[in-house]
Structure 1
């Protein structure tokens, strides 16, 4: 049985990752800390990724076990409800360290589950 259509969610996640990558390109964490607009753009990208990840069926995410999908889904709630608990270094590291790994996993899913 083919999973329900979820590619739109992956497209949204990849677009958010690519936008965040462009936004931080050539910047340092100090630049990030000093730029209110950049910080809020990154937070929004993380929220979109988190929300879109909820549309991915379990059998699809299971193909990429190196990604902590539970944490991906949960970080959006943290941003919305406990935003004061996320430090700048945490969000910066999400973009710098986690987004590339997530992007690779999402691209692999797209290849593994071609459009119907």
Structure 2
């Protein structure tokens, strides 16, 4: 189980790293003005959402402060209800939700990797 979960964790962390890289020194206005940036960041959120679905409850329960259900759900919103989600919501997810998620996933990885 550990190896499979580590693959999923690495996928999540890779997407978060990409988001951090492309949003460095960017603002909400930059996000709104750049079609490619918007789509790339929305796709990163979709991948994070999908990958989080592969984490079992016994793993996610170690980080109860993370809204795992919302993370799993946002991918479906982006895929099926994309017209109803505002740029501000996405930007807030990127700015406010990803940093604690990153810390939680890193903690999960450390616990799984520990002998």
Shorter chain as normaliser: what TM range?
over 0.9
C-alpha displacement of 1:114: 1.1
Q: Which residue pairs with 1:8 in the alignment?
A: 7
Secondary structure in structure 2 of the residue aligned to 1:110: helix
**2-structure distance, mates of 1:12, 1:111:** 15
In 2, are the aligned partners of 1:3 and 1:57 still within 8 Å (CA)?
Answer: no
1:40-59 residue pairs with structure 2 within 5 A? 40-59=39-58
Task: Give ranges in structure 1 of 5+ residues lacking alignment.
Answer: none
Q: Which residue pairs with 1:114 in the alignment?
A: 113
- Normalising by structure 2, what TM-score? 0.95
| Runs of 4+ residues deviating >6 angstroms | none
Task: Give ranges in structure 2 of 5+ residues lacking alignment.
Answer: none
**2-structure distance, mates of 1:53, 1:106:** 10
Q: Which residue pairs with 1:93 in the alignment?
A: 92
Aligned Cα RMSD in Å? 1.5
In 2, are the aligned partners of 1:79 and 1:86 still within 8 Å (CA)?
Answer: yes
C-alpha displacement of 1:5: 2.7
**2-structure distance, mates of 1:72, 1:95:** 12
- Number of aligned pairs? 115
**1-structure distance, mates of 2:114, 2:76:** 30
**1-structure distance, mates of 2:114, 2:47:** 22
